[in-house]
Amino acid sequence: MEQPPSSSLQVETAQQPGPSPLRKMFAVSSIAAGIQFGWALQLSLLTPYVQTLGVPHAWASFIWLCGPISGLLVQPIVGYSSDRCRSRFGRRRPFIFVGAIAVAIAVFLIGYAADIGHAAGDDLTKKTRPRAVVVFVVGFWILDVANNMLQGPCRAFLGDLAAGDHRKTRTANAFFSFFMAIGNVLGYAAGSYDKLHRAFKFTQTEACDVFCANLKSCFFFSIVLLLVLCFVVLICVDDPQFTPRGDDNNGENDGVSGSCFGELWAAFKGLKRPMWLLMVVTAINWVAWFPYMLFDTDWMGREVYGGKVGEKAYDSGVHKGALGLMLNSVVLALMSLTVEPLGRFVGGVKWLWGIVNVILAVCMAMTVVITRAAEHERKNGVSAVGHPSVGVQVAALTFFSALGVPLAVRLLSASPLHWHLYTPPLQEQAKVYPWASSMLQLSCHR
């Protein structure tokens, strides 16, 4: 059988004498818990929080444009630079160090946006606090860039440590998925607990109310967890200095092949029809996923609990939504362990991909039913604002939980450690999928 052509996007493994011990892969994978802890807080609390600063509900989604934009630009640039980094500290560790520091700075800006804005002259009697919004947006964008700077090198580091051993690669992927789930569960659990600020009484200030103080307290945990995990990896896991081969040196100044985006463009031109169809389906997927990620807890506060921003009913709904996201993460963790055998059981990864998209469509349709049921109960006096019936709450939490199934497949299909799920002719082309996914997220943004 003719072998697929080699791609300029192929990542060369660092000069490892052989696969590293599992304890080193375990340590590197643990960084995913720190990343996902902050990401969970970002998804569950930041859309409601920015509205308390005066950003209109309709405009809140534009702040999230940093996600696809940073994925579109930062992922390929960081990946390209990391693969060619010749630092004496290694190829991956410098990016992990810088990314961790950037996350800490971003989280500080987000948590203290209200306080900094007030100190800079924001009037607390007015609905909109423009200076706080500016600080928040700057921190938010730095956070997304830093997350992209961390995740790519971490995954690539695991590939380096596996040194081409397929069994170790699968184990590393399982470790990474496990810690992602742990981080999600911890982050959403922290977001669902509305009394965390009592342990850090200094977080509640004149400019920062209870909701803001809870957010600030959660982010303190996020910073400490991520910095500790990154410190352990930077100290305990070796990252050999990269010395490129002779043919790599010759190719670095070779026009298109020497350019990060040139390589991507060359790879795109050679994509086959199945890969284009996969990316079209991904685009349609993001039409559903993007609003869900932006407004899931906001939907709980507004539609299911019937509250308004700043009211107790709204805050209760947001915290209940964070609980739903925690259940989503538990399902995601369990599902990630069964994706491969389940794919074989249903006849291949393409059948599994199709099935989970049907599940996604059904779940999204459930939001209309749940919203109408909650509105009907409030209108007819069956339930009060902030107190939906048990049936509505169970239906909403079931919705969050069920979405863990398609989310697990979506995350794993975009993972560089999971390219072996593709059929051999598509394995090389699948390496442009994460970057293409970011581009399609941007094109589908509304």
Q: For 293-351, what is each residue's pLDDT tens digit?
A: 878 889 999 999 999 887 889 988 998 998 998 898 888 878 877 877 887 888 877 78
Which tokens belong to 222? 């996020």
Q: Tally Cβ neighbours within 10 Å of residue 276.
A: 13
Q: Please, are residues 385 and 434 in contact by the beta-carbon 8 Å criterion?
A: no
Is 357 domain-assigned?
yes
Is 5 domain-assigned?
no
Q: Please, are residues 92 and 80 in contact by the beta-carbon 8 Å criterion?
A: no
Task: Single out the residue of 113, 102, 184 nearest to residue 146, CA to CA.
Answer: 102
Is 4 domain-assigned?
no
CA–CA gap between residue 164 and residue 144 (Å, rounded):
30
Is 3 domain-assigned?
no
CA–CA gap between residue 395 and residue 366 (Å, rounded):
8
Query: What type of residue sits at position 336?
Result: S
Tens-digit pLDDT profile for residues 261-308:
666 677 677 777 777 777 777 777 878 887 888 788 899 999 999 998
Residue 431 scores a pLDDT above 60 = no
Average pLDDT, stretch 89-108? 90
Final residue before a domain boundary, out of 241, 258, 289: 241
Q: Tally Cβ neighbours within 10 Å of residue 121.
A: 9
Q: What share of the chain is helix, strand, coil (3-state, %, to 5)?
A: 75, 0, 25
Q: Please, are residues 440 and 289 in contact by the beta-carbon 8 Å criterion?
A: no
Final residue before a domain boundary, out of 241, 259, 285: 241
CATH number of the domain encompassing residue 215: 1.20.1250.20
Residue 439 has a pLDDT of: 47
Residue 299 has a pLDDT of: 93
Query: What type of residue sits at position 204?
Result: Q
Q: Is the dihedral of CA 183, 417, 144, 146 positive or negative?
A: positive
Q: Kindly state whether residues 209 and 351 are assigned to the same domain.
A: no
Residue 264 has a pLDDT of: 66
Which tokens belong to 42? 């970002």
Which tokens belong to 342? 């389940």
CA–CA gap between residue 118 and residue 120 (Å, rounded):
5
CA–CA gap between residue 286 and residue 278 (Å, rounded):
12
Residue 364 has a pLDDT of: 92
B/e letters for 23-52, b = 16+ CB within 10 Å, e = fewer, are ebbbbbbbbbbbbbbbbbbbbbbbbbbbbb
Final residue before a domain boundary, out of 190, 224, 241: 241
Gap between the terminal Cα atoms of the chain:
45
Q: Kindly state whether residues 422 and 293 are assigned to the same domain.
A: yes
Is 175 domain-assigned?
yes
Task: Single out the residue of 419, 439, 438, 369 nearest to residue 398, CA to CA.
Answer: 369
Residue 428 scores a pLDDT above 60 = no
Which tokens belong to 146? 């830093």
Q: What is the pTM of this model?
A: 0.74
Is 251 domain-assigned?
no
CA–CA gap between residue 206 and residue 219 (Å, rounded):
19
User: Which structural domain, as residue segments, surrounds residue 36?
Assistant: 15-241
- Angstrom distances, CA of residue 187 to CA of 34, 228, 296, 367: 9, 16, 15, 24
276: DSSP letter: H
Residue 251 has a pLDDT of: 45
DSSP H helical ranges for 163-209: 166-192
Residue 257 scores a pLDDT above 70 = no
Q: Kindly state whether residues 182 and 233 are assigned to the same domain.
A: yes
* pLDDT confidence band for 2 (50 / 70 / 90): very low
Residue 245 has a pLDDT of: 61
Q: Kindly state whether residues 172 and 281 are assigned to the same domain.
A: no
Average pLDDT, stretch 379-390? 87
Longest CA–CA span in the chain (Å) reads 76
Is 7 domain-assigned?
no
Greater pLDDT, 170 or 15: 170
| Ramachandran class of 290: left when φ > 0, alpha when ψ lies in -120 to 50, beta otherwise | alpha
Q: Kindly state whether residues 211 and 131 are assigned to the same domain.
A: yes
Q: Please, are residues 117 and 212 in contact by the beta-carbon 8 Å criterion?
A: no
Q: Kindly state whether residues 99 and 206 are assigned to the same domain.
A: yes
Lowest mean pLDDT among 23-27, 77-81, 252-256, 315-319: 252-256
Is 188 domain-assigned?
yes
Residue 75 has a pLDDT of: 77
Mean pLDDT of the chain: 79
Q: What is the domain count for the chain? A: 2
Q: Please, are residues 207 and 116 in contact by the beta-carbon 8 Å criterion?
A: no
Average pLDDT, stretch 179-183? 86
Q: Kindly state whether residues 404 and 336 are assigned to the same domain.
A: yes
DSSP H helical ranges for 193-311: 210-236, 246-251, 260-269, 273-299
* pLDDT confidence band for 194 (50 / 70 / 90): confident
Q: Kindly state whether residues 287 and 189 are assigned to the same domain.
A: no
Q: Kindly state whether residues 43 and 150 are assigned to the same domain.
A: yes
Average pLDDT, stretch 25-52? 88
Residue 357 has a pLDDT of: 87
Q: Please, are residues 203 and 59 in contact by the beta-carbon 8 Å criterion?
A: no
Residue 188 scores a pLDDT above 90 = no
Q: Tally Cβ neighbours within 10 Å of residue 243.
A: 10
Q: Kindly state whether residues 277 and 186 are assigned to the same domain.
A: no
Residue 252 has a pLDDT of: 46
Q: Kindly state whether residues 211 and 356 are assigned to the same domain.
A: no
Average pLDDT, stretch 132-158? 88
The three-state (H, E, C) secondary structure of 374-423, written as one string: HHHHHHCCCCECCECCHHHHHHHHHHHHHCHHHHHHHHHHCCHHHHHHCC
Which tokens belong to 43? 């998804």
Q: Kindly state whether residues 219 and 330 are assigned to the same domain.
A: no
